[in-house]
Amino acid sequence: MCSWNHRYARLNHGFDSTQDCSSFTGSNKPVACKDGSQDAQNASAQANLISNILTFFFSALLGSMSDRRGRKGIMIIGCILGLLTPMMLIWIQLDSSISPFWYYAGSAINGVVNWMAIATSSLSDVIPKEYRASSFALLIAGFSLGFAFSPAISLFLDDNLTTSIMSFALMLLALLINVIWFPETLQTPNIVEHASNNIFMRPFQEMIILNRDNLFRLLSALAFFSGMVGSADQSLLVYYVEDQLDFNKTDISKMFVILGICGIVIQGLLIKPFISLLGERLVLVVAFSFGVLCNVLYGISKTKQMIFVALVFSSFCGMSFPTISAIKSNNVNEFEQGRIQGALFSLQALAYGIGPVFLRFVYSRTKDYLPGSMFLFAAALELAAVAFAYLLPKDRANSKRRGHSTPSQHD
């Protein structure tokens, strides 16, 4: 992130110092570096918006398509698109005159295929209902493992170009695994075709499933509010702590290590006993309550240590994604797994796109007298999610109370 601040400061604001912008702190930071940081934050928010607009239009459509034609091919396409980001990183670092715009453009294109939506659909094909939340959590634990180790690898290599080449190699390995070893999990394709063939209307048609009944509407509200907050925290927190608390490269690495290790522990070890003890509904209440707490701490933090504590609490928010995905999966027929996962991801993508842009707007209006206000506003959104989670019907949200009945059709 710091290199992008420096690159924007040099290309857009005439910064010509031999020192990197990350080497300056507090009042010593040049105006060009501050302006470069603003450019990087705006570019990140805009790329995030474009990526999620693409996910909004394609996720439900591709999810439904995977119900008819299989999961594996779409996952392979997602891995191919995932190669674009490290390719752009390598190109930009080989040519110092290239704008970071191309990195953000490559990142945005990844939104065409939401790999996670297809992956959770694949797990739903083969995992019994009562184990789906914990299996989805193990999937996320794999991502957390990457978060835990990637900063250490970056510091060990101490060379951005080498790190980018390694990222490309790892993505290429993921593609090969999908092509050679990943099995096709869809055994009974849904042969029902939907009426509309209009490519612009199909995403909205596929998303009608979200309005099936009150449970689906509440889950949609949860996905939307939590998506707004989660995406803003993910894309804006690093820039915020660099600007306000003088976080350096080592501090940022510590943040990712904390998130990674805590994510592994919570997703890999704690979520299953939590669900067994509380049920999915109360696990969501707990997860979003931690979301309120960590965002309040982000907003009022004056020290690096408080941010690190808040990051530990934020890891408990990660229980919400696999739990919501499991409740969705448990309340549709087996031939609708791709459609429901894709539809919820489409809605969440809309929230992911709006969240950072909206909270950046809040920040721009309040940064002079309350810089952390955007996180306090995010805490209010998480509080709304707590209420929606509490309103979920127990008999359908909790897998142990559902039995093995088949959901009725209403759309």
In whole angstroms, what separates CA 331 from the centre of its chain? 23
How many whole angstroms separate alpha carbon 241 and alpha carbon 302? 10
Task: Tell me what pLDDT residue 151 has.
Answer: 61
Amino acid at 205: Q
How many whole angstroms separate alpha carbon 62 and alpha carbon 339? 8
Task: Tell me what pLDDT residue 410 has.
Answer: 42
In a domain, 406, yes or no: no
Three-class SS state of 143 = helix
How many whole angstroms separate alpha carbon 294 and alpha carbon 137? 20
| Structural domain that includes position 121 | 2-181+203-401
How many whole angstroms separate alpha carbon 229 and alpha carbon 223? 10
How many whole angstroms separate alpha carbon 341 and alpha carbon 73? 17
Contact 292, 386 (CB under 8 A): yes
Residue-wise pLDDT tens digits, 42-87: 787 778 778 878 887 787 778 778 888 888 888 898 889 888 888 8
Task: Tell me what pLDDT residue 52 has.
Answer: 77
In a domain, 355, yes or no: yes
In a domain, 262, yes or no: yes
Contact 338, 67 (CB under 8 A): yes
Task: Tell me what pLDDT residue 404 has.
Answer: 43
Amino acid at 374: M
pLDDT by residue, tens only, the chain of 411 residues: 446 777 777 777 777 777 776 666 666 777 777 777 777 777 877 787 788 788 877 877 787 788 888 888 888 988 898 888 888 888 888 887 888 888 888 888 888 887 777 888 888 888 887 777 778 777 777 776 776 666 666 656 656 778 788 888 888 998 999 899 888 888 766 555 554 555 556 666 767 777 788 888 898 888 888 888 887 787 778 878 887 888 877 888 788 888 888 888 888 788 888 888 888 899 999 999 999 999 999 999 989 999 999 999 998 988 888 888 888 888 877 777 777 877 877 787 788 778 877 887 888 888 778 888 889 999 999 999 999 999 999 888 887 754 444 444 444
How many whole angstroms separate alpha carbon 331 and alpha carbon 221? 16
Q: 388 to each of 31, 213, 225, 288, 381, how far by Cα in Å? A: 44, 14, 10, 10, 11
In a domain, 235, yes or no: yes
Contact residues for 273 (Cβ-Cβ < 8 A; gap 6+): none
Task: Tell me what pLDDT residue 308 has.
Answer: 94
Amino acid at 60: A
Q: How many CA atoms lie within 13 A of 303 on its CB side?
A: 3
Three-class SS state of 411 = coil
In a domain, 29, yes or no: yes
Please tell me the total count of domains within the chain. 1
Amino acid at 217: R
Three-class SS state of 404 = coil
In a domain, 219, yes or no: yes
Using CA atoms of 150, 154, 155, 156 in order, give the dihedral in degrees to the nearest 10. 100
Q: What is the CATH number of the domain that holds 389?
A: 1.20.1250.20
Task: Tell me what pLDDT residue 224 has.
Answer: 85
Task: Tell me what pLDDT residue 28 has.
Answer: 75
How many whole angstroms separate alpha carbon 53 and alpha carbon 124? 26
Max CA separation in the chain (angstroms): 67
In a domain, 296, yes or no: yes
**20-26 contacts, C-beta under 8 A, 24 or more apart:** 22/242, 22/248, 22/249, 25/246, 25/248, 26/246
How many whole angstroms separate alpha carbon 183 and alpha carbon 347? 28
Tokens coding 331 = 């309340």
| pTM of structure | 0.68
How many whole angstroms separate alpha carbon 321 and alpha carbon 287? 10
Nearest of 68, 85, 111 to residue 170 by alpha carbon? 85
How many whole angstroms separate alpha carbon 411 and alpha carbon 397? 20
Question: What DSSP character marks residue 15?
Answer: -
Using CA atoms of 113, 117, 123, 125 in order, give the dihedral in degrees to the nearest 10. -90
How many whole angstroms separate alpha carbon 209 and alpha carbon 61? 12
In a domain, 188, yes or no: no
How many whole angstroms separate alpha carbon 175 and alpha carbon 324? 28
Please state, as a whole number, how many other Cβ atoms lie within 10 Å of the Cβ of residue 238: 20
